[in-house]
Each structure stands twice: as structure tokens, then as C-alpha cells.
Structure 1
């Protein structure tokens, strides 16, 4: 059935039904994440604020450690969610909605564990990284699959070539990221030395 009505206008009922059939998995992941971020992470801040009587509009500066960690989790989840949601949906729209939904669900589970660990564990970087690294790997997997689909569909690469070329694209992105981090580190060193000379 066409999503366009006889008048040429969009038939919203048909469109939404077809959209849900095709993209139920990433849609469910998006809703699950909104519940996690918008309710669970936010409620943890509210509970901490209430316990410590740390009313609004006070921020994290000078706040008790558990409240600071809850606020940091909330901000960190926001920083990571845009990245993941965009790549998950792009992967789904590139023809891999079930793959995107499965890996998106895994990402939500990992980030839930990350938030819990961060809020409950003071200064345990190793514990936090055990959930941070897998969440980044999941997003990198989305990059790889998006690149592979684009190369296969838009440029008619066969499966083998598209996977190899997609690996090259992701590797190039990693090298660019590493180079940028090295330049930033160098800049920080130059700035730090100039500040010490002025003192």
C-alpha cells in the first residue's frame, strides 16, 4: 500500500504503520534510553539533592561527593546519547534496523551499568572504564556498518571490498582522532609552559 493517498498527500496512518514495522527496534531503544536518561538518571540527582538539602539553583561546585557523581553521570550520559542515537538511527536508515536496534539495546544496558557504577563508586576509574569502553566500541561498530552500507549501495562495492574499505574509513577516523588528541596535548603543554614563565 502506498503511503501517499489518492490526492498525493502523505497518508499518516499508513506511514506510521510502515515506519513502526520497519523501525520498531531502534524506536524501542530510543524510548528505553529516554526513560533511563530522563527519569532514572534525573531522579538520582533529585534524590541526592533532597538528601543533602542541596536546593536549586545550586550547581555541583561545593556539593557533596555523591551528588557531584550523580550530576556528572547525568551530563556524561547526555554527552554520549546524542552521538549514539544519531549513529544508531543512521545505521537503521541505511537498511540495518534490527542490527541498529540490537546494538542500541546493548548500548543502553551498558550505559545503565555505567551510570550505576559511577554513582555508587567513588574514584574507581577502572570500574567506570569497564562500561565506558564497550559503549564506545558499540558506537564505532555503527560507524563501520554505516560506512560499509554506503560503500556497498552507493558505490556498488561487493561485500568483501565494502568491509575492507569500511575498515579503512574507520581506521582513518581513528588516526584523525589520535592526531587531534596529540595536537591538543601539545597545545596544553605549550600553554602550561607559558603560564609557568609568567609566574
Structure 2
């Protein structure tokens, strides 16, 4: 049997803050962003892109990150802000809030993706950074677990949509529920499938 080699992520300079988001694509719920500054004296094994981890592994690592990181913060942009600003600008806003909420100023901020918010911190965008940079991977895990928890709560409030299963993404089951029940207050009205349902409702 061939064993997979361990995933070794770049640690980055001291004072580095990693930033990532969760929830840009769904039709419902806020977009979350996390900012994490890791403590080099307390390394965390197993960090990688949250999408490549099981739910159990993400939860375990999220607990370790909260306990052992030098600083961390998770922030959001609401559905109303997404509809008002558009999803890109709302994501940038959530990232700004996350870094501002750290309680300490990072020396440098590395953001997953191909662009950074317009902010005062020295920063760079890192494409696929959540699988290359430990601090970004940690931010990916925190953003994903917090958003999943929120969508579970939303499922309890609006069980007809199945939010706990698809986390608000446009699955066939979610689209069918939208057609049957219409949009709830946590649906993004500026997103095409939701807008289509709302437009259809006005015809009757």
C-alpha cells in the first residue's frame, strides 16, 4: 500500500495573518470570512483546504485553531449587504471585518484567491492559498465550520429548504424547495435562481 505524504504548508513570516472566506456561491445565508494568525511555537498538524477535509476533521481542527492560534476572528457580511453591495464587495467587507477584529495588527495579510480588499495592511493574494499557506488553511477551516453551524441553525428555523444538507448551495433539492415554498428572509434576492422565483411569484 502506498502511503500519501503529509501535506506541508508554508508557514510564512512572523506576524502573518491568513484570510479566507466561505459561502460566496450559495443562494442563502451570509458570507463568512476568517482571519488567523498562527503561533509558530504551537504548530497545528493537518491544516489544509477545508473542502478537502471531512466535517469531523474540520471541527477538530477548528477547536485546535481557536485554542492555539495567536489571534483569530470570524466575521460576516449579511444577506442584505450581499444584495446591496454584490457578493464580491460583501466578501471583501467580511474580510475587512475579520482582520479588524483580531485585536492586534498583523505585519502582513495573505488572502486566498486573486485579489485583496482595499485596506491599510500590507497584503498579497495567493491563488489556492488554502492548500499552500498554513494560516490561510486555518482561516478556511474556521470560516467553513462557523458558516456550516449557522446554516444548521437556519435549517431549524426554515426546515423546508434543507439548509443543513446543502448549506444554501443551489442543489436540485434546494431549487425544488424554492419553487414550492418561495424565498425565505435568508435567501439572496440578487442571485439569479432566487430572483427568478420572486419574479414568477409577482405574475400570479
Q: Shorter-chain TM-score: which interval?
A: under 0.3
The normalised TM-score by structure 1 is 0.23
The normalised TM-score by structure 2 is 0.23
* Larger proportion of helix: 1
* Larger proportion of strand: 2
State which structure, 1 or 2, has the greater radius of gyration over its C-alpha atoms: 1
Q: Which has the bigger relative contact order, CA under 8 A and spacing at least 6?
A: 2
